[in-house]
Amino acid sequence: MTITLTSLDNLEFKVDKDVAERSVLIKNMIEDVGESDSPIPLPNVTSAVLKKVIEYCEHHRHDPVPVQDESDDPRKRSNDIEEWDMKFMQVDQEMLFEIILAANYLDIKPLLDVGCKTVANIIKGKTPEEIRKVFNIVNDFTPEEEAQIRKENEWAEDR
Amino acid sequence: MSPLTTTSILSPRSLRKRSLPTLPSELILHIFKFLTTPHDLRVAILVCKLWCTCGMDLLWSRPALLSSSVVEQITQTLSLEPSEMTFPYRDHVRRLNFSLVARDLVDEELVRFACCTRLERLILQGCTQITPDALLRILMAGQALVSLDLSEITTVGDSVIEQVATYCTKLHTLYIASCNAVTDSSISKLAQSCPSLKRV
């Protein structure tokens, strides 16, 4: 069975049901609506991003469905991204963030994790100023505020 | 210079250029969960105020007590007057594991953590220099403690267990391996005061 997805800019994408259902949001919508041919609107996702998301879901369509991870450990690994995913994530900053936002909205946890791991890997090893440059972030700390936070968190320097 | 308040840090000015979409806090937090070292988190919190607010809890909820100098630096921050502190750091601390600095930890250092009233898990395994007096100070602040490890602290006896019973009523796990001075009478008092107790 094919599902039709409509992006923000009104482009239609036909995908197989099992691919579309990698998104828990879409899966639930299909369950609610039942057997229906009407397209599912995704007003929060542009066609460029949706295309990438569908590409990811198609590649991973046979992956086991992720189980709810209730483990206590908040610190997860980021060095286990598979090669296809790494290539998939070689996009510009804006697309990277858009993919993360879309994965969050569509509730596709593996894609969200890959996106966030990718950003985490970009952050690692850089100074705050380097991170700001990469992500176009303006430093809104005063020098005094920055110095104080640095001092109060000096302990975290120990590796 | 006027003292920095928590509110000045928590009201970031949104000056980001429009070309890059802004991630909401919960997604910034999700990214930070993949930053595996305290060092990386510390860098992240210095990027801008939004990142700072997102990363602060993660950094302080279970600070890695890797060495005595780390402990010293943390206690310096915790000992600041609340009005001088940029963040209410003491309220974020939920898990403390002293086992890596166990042999060197002394009472004066331990009691400086007594301000962390939201502490949920405390591991003092092997901290043989700690005396019941210091333990009492920590336990008095331990109303949120659910898990406590006092293994190998041989000075722990019935009086300490009774204090645990008095102050830590939410406790569900207690480790007292090698605490040979503890007798059944204090354990039964503990069982009576701590309804969630699952394991001793």
Q: State pLDDT tens for residues B70-115.
A: 999 999 999 988 888 888 899 999 999 999 999 999 999 999 999 9
| B174 DSSP β-pair partners | B148
pLDDT for res B8: 46
Could you tell me which chain A residue has the CA closest to the CA of B18? A136
Test B43 with A123 for CB contact under 8 angstroms.
yes
pTM for the whole thing?
Answer: 0.78
Binding-face residues of B in 17-36 toward A, CB within 8 A:
17, 19-21, 23, 27, 30-36
Task: Provide the 3-class DSSP secondary structure of residue B174.
Answer: strand
Distance from CA of B116 to the nearest CA of A (A): 16
Q: How confident is the model at residue A119 (pLDDT cuts 50, 70, 90)?
A: very high
**Average pLDDT value for chain A:** 88
Task: Provide the 3-class DSSP secondary structure of residue B176.
Answer: coil
pLDDT for res A81: 87
Q: Which among B4, B21, B40 has the least Cβ separation from residue A145? A: B4
Q: Which among B44, B67, B87 has the least Cβ separation from residue A158? A: B67
Dihedral pair phi/psi, residue A32, rounded to 5°: -70, -45
pLDDT for res B78: 92
Least confident of A19-23, A36-40, B59-63, B69-73: A36-40
Q: How confident is the model at residue A126 (pLDDT cuts 50, 70, 90)?
A: very high
Token reading at B88? 């209410």
Question: What is the residue whose two structure tokens read 């006027």?
Answer: B2
Q: What percent of chain B has pLDDT over 70?
A: 90
Test B17 with A101 for CB contact under 8 angstroms.
no
pLDDT for res A72: 42
B89: nearest Cα among B54, B55, B123, B61 = B61
A116: nearest Cα among B46, B185, A124 = A124
Tell me: pLDDT of B27 over 50: yes
pLDDT tens, position by position, A57-96: 999 999 887 766 645 454 577 778 899 999 999 998 889 9
A154: nearest Cα among B5, B33, B35, B42 = B42
Task: Tell me which amino acid residue B45 is.
Answer: I
Test B77 with A77 for CB contact under 8 angstroms.
no
Query: Which run of H or E residues covers position B148?
Result: strand B147-149
Average pLDDT over residues A155-159: 74
Contacts of B159 (CB under 8 A, 6+ apart): B132, B186
| C-alpha–C-alpha distance, residues A94 and A108, integer Å | 19
Q: Between chain A and chain B, how many beta carbons pairs sit less than 8 Å apart?
A: 138
pLDDT for res B188: 83
Test B73 with A155 for CB contact under 8 angstroms.
yes
Tell me: pLDDT of B31 over 60: yes
Tell me: pLDDT of B5 over 70: no
| C-alpha–C-alpha distance, residues B64 and B100, integer Å | 9
pLDDT for res B120: 94
Query: Which value does ipTM take for this structure?
Result: 0.88
